[in-house]
A and B are shown apart, each in its own frame.
Chain A
């Protein structure tokens, strides 16, 4: 077996390693874009719509791939396969870890693919003075501000007092970490409000339901919950629903998914904070195009703002357009 194994191994390696014939290429007139979100979910799917619109507007080509689960172990092999294509000029990506994705994305840059990060960032997100400066730009929500908006809105509903709880995803993910941080800062503005805990559901909706249910039992007078992203809000909302506490426990949902909006209509969720993933996707492509054309003053950091959706304005077309709706779903 072993002799045959060695022979076949060598054969496979040789086969894999054959240097392809060089294809003479003129510099193409337009850049080719790669889009690699963090994980498959409606937020990124709406972002993809923005990317695709911009790509169509500029007459470009795009290659899109979704990791099935969140994390560098899954995102990196996909990233490397995209880079191995050899035909991409720009990569628009949401790094699944601000530290761990530095080396793989640096390698992508070394291979000649420029990086724009959307939604999440590398290092501390400051691409001017921070530890990581190689990406062209970071386009995302101001997540600290998003957290503060959530806290203030919750305080308003609760009359500035009560116990609150955070459903978070993973520590180490820049965006959700900052939302949690912003929320805490916001709550601190109200002396009669108390944060009773923060749990990490590892971006798993079932875990989120479990943790929230446990918290509802442990803290009977819990007044409000902040779900920091799609799955966290889904879990928190559904746990409250399952416990029959709709209206008694206020849930602030970050991210305007169909589920969050349904919960809003059902009265489970008090407020939905919508990011603008569509704008992030569109802007990222526009920045890539600008860089290609030689623009040198591309902002290193752009925040895309929020829309706050509640039961009153949810049917207003001007607000409803911020709901993450993926055609065909």
Chain B
């Protein structure tokens, strides 16, 4: 550290302004990138299809929101965990576990016990989310109390959740769901019929068929509404509450947090439990959307969810990141997938691009610190 040259007094105004600019760029590049991607796909999809295909449509916006829902929910809990310096690798199979258990409970209570679906569905979803919170709690307990690295503990939990969900489901997709399940997963808050005889409808799907049905778009499907509420709550918790502050503190300097009297062990347990809960939401929403419980629901999405978190600016060393960043990260990945499919490019390019963006995100963070360090030492 170039300490000699640093007085306690205020550094020059100019370098301060430079710093503000660089900080702003490093914070906003993901937004700019996302908007750029959307513009890119809007133009290329339109022009390569000879004007037949539009990227910017109501339907597509809702598709993208639906596509990010599970990735985002898995990433939200992960955001907290990684900010605090941990990692949760169990999210994929725990999501499958929640999906299977919610479907089993709903099927059993409606088909075998005669419970009304209006009761059985909330019950099943509640049990499903709980079934994901428990492995999260156990993860946290082992990590906090036995000081085993989170990587190992959550990897182990991933296998355990996988085994249990396959055992419970017999490897089958758990079916026999009442109609309300599929409705919750596929119906929406609003319906829009564009063009002739159209309009905006609230809650009740207009009973149309044929060509008019083709013009019907679902605006804010229920899973998107649920994800939005969870996101809003966690945005508040991370950035406005003591819980969030302590999450950052633990990731920034665990020892300092401990000495300052932050109940670190208890907090770590709560963080992994929170991760389990958000994953549980992803699991039960899978059940709803696909009308059945599936143990393999989450595994293919796990790496995407971690990529979303990293693109969003969460440092793997802990201490940095935001809920908004993770939302952007998930949006970037979903826009890429959708855009490339609509461009009729093989979606495998998506992996290449996501890989580049992940590395870019980390590079931008490091470049920021480097440049600011230079400004300060001058």
Residues of A within 8 A of B324 (CB): 1-2, 5, 8-9
Q: How far is the CA of A80 from the CA of B67 in the complex (A)?
A: 9
Residues of A within 8 A of B347 (CB): 65-68, 78
B214 x A78 contact (CB < 8 A):
no
A103 x B171 contact (CB < 8 A):
no
Is residue B148 within 8 Å, beta carbon to beta carbon, of the partner chain?
A: no
Residues of B within 8 A of A172 (CB): 171-173, 294
Cβ < 8 Å to A, chain B residues 288-307: 289-292, 294, 296-298, 300-301
Residues of A within 8 A of B214 (CB): 110-112
Given contacts A9-B327, A16-B61, contact A103 B53 (CB under 8 A): no
Cβ < 8 Å to A, chain B residues 57-79: 57-61, 63-64, 66-67, 70
Is residue B158 within 8 Å, beta carbon to beta carbon, of the partner chain?
A: no
Residues of B within 8 A of A188 (CB): none
Residues of B within 8 A of A97 (CB): 173, 290, 292, 294
For residue A299, give the distance in angstroms from its CB to the closest CB of chain B.
25
B54 x A86 contact (CB < 8 A):
yes
Is residue A293 within 8 Å, beta carbon to beta carbon, of the partner chain?
A: no
A65 x B235 contact (CB < 8 A):
no
Stretch at the interface among A69-77, A133-141, A144-152, A226-234: A69-77
Q: Is the interface of B mostly helix, strand, loop or mixed?
A: helix
B235 x A110 contact (CB < 8 A):
no
Stretch at the interface among A17-25, A249-257, A318-326: A17-25
Cβ < 8 Å to A, chain B residues 319-378: 322, 324, 327, 331, 334, 337-339, 341-342, 344, 346-348, 351
Q: How many residues of chain A are within 8 Å of chain B by beta carbon?
A: 56
Given contacts A16-B61, A99-B291, A112-B214, contact A66 B173 (CB under 8 A): no
Is residue B155 within 8 Å, beta carbon to beta carbon, of the partner chain?
A: no
Given contacts A71-B297, A107-B186, 17 further A-B contacts (CB under 8 A): A12-B38, A16-B56, A18-B56, A20-B54, A23-B51, A25-B52, A63-B344, A65-B346, A69-B300, A73-B286, A73-B300, A77-B338, A84-B59, A103-B186, A103-B291, A172-B172, A202-B296
Chain B positions within 8 Å of A, measured between CB atoms, are: 31, 34-35, 38, 49, 51-54, 56-61, 63-64, 66-67, 70, 166, 170-173, 175, 182, 185-186, 194-195, 211, 213-214, 216, 235, 239-240, 286, 289-292, 294, 296-298, 300-301, 322, 324, 327, 331, 334, 337-339, 341-342, 344, 346-348, 351
